[in-house]
Amino acid sequence: MLWLDKVLNNRQGSAVSLGAILLWIAQRLALPVVPVIFPTQMLLRADPEESEEMWLINPFNGETLNEHTLEVWLKGNISPVAELFNEDLDEADNAEVIRKLLDTLKSALMEERQMELALRTSEALLQFNPEDPYEIRDRGLIYAQAGLRSRGAAGPQLLRLNSARRIPSAR
């Protein structure tokens, strides 16, 4: 569930939708909380001024997270050899949060077989980076699942996807 009005009414949602609401509240209360787009989900990072220790919060359930938990998440969701880096906990800018929200929304819409809305969401994501081979791939998948023909030339898109397969890092 991603629509923020529904999240508020039903008091449940994804980590990114709940995190967006919590960020808004924290900002209004002048709390030192920032978003972190961790490889598995959005987190919140609190950097209290009087403490040298940062707190990482799972917006889905409010639990604080430690380094061990984050490493387990990486190994279980990304790769058994994945490692936690300091950059994984960097503050995300607003555009990154919006992209994460849209990407999560697109995945939920595809799972619910709402292909027209998923396609519109994919096209919104392509506004951030029109050359993103993963998003071009996802848009093609949406067209295929909806039984539609893709707009535009398939040749350059397939070339970009074939090039993307050689990229060693995953999205």
Last residue of a domain, one of 28, 63, 89: 89
Shared domain check, 24 and 8: yes
CA 128 to chain centre: 14
The pLDDT, as a whole number, for residue 17 is 86
The rounded percent of the chain whose pLDDT value lies above 70 is 82
pLDDT digits (tens, 9 = 90+) for 30-69: 999 999 999 888 999 998 777 778 899 999 888 999 999 9
Label the pairing between strands 64-65 and 55-57. antiparallel
Range of the domain at 40: 4-89
Structural tokens at position 106: 């697109």
The pLDDT, as a whole number, for residue 47 is 85
Q: Which of 17, 39, 53 is nearest to 90 (CA)?
A: 39
The SS3 assignment for 36 reads strand
Shared domain check, 122 and 84: no
Shared domain check, 78 and 104: no
Angle, helices 133-146 vs 115-128, to 10°: value is 160
Model confidence at 155, in pLDDT bands (50, 70, 90)?
Answer: very low
Shared domain check, 102 and 74: no
- What is the mean pLDDT of the segment spanning 124-149? 90
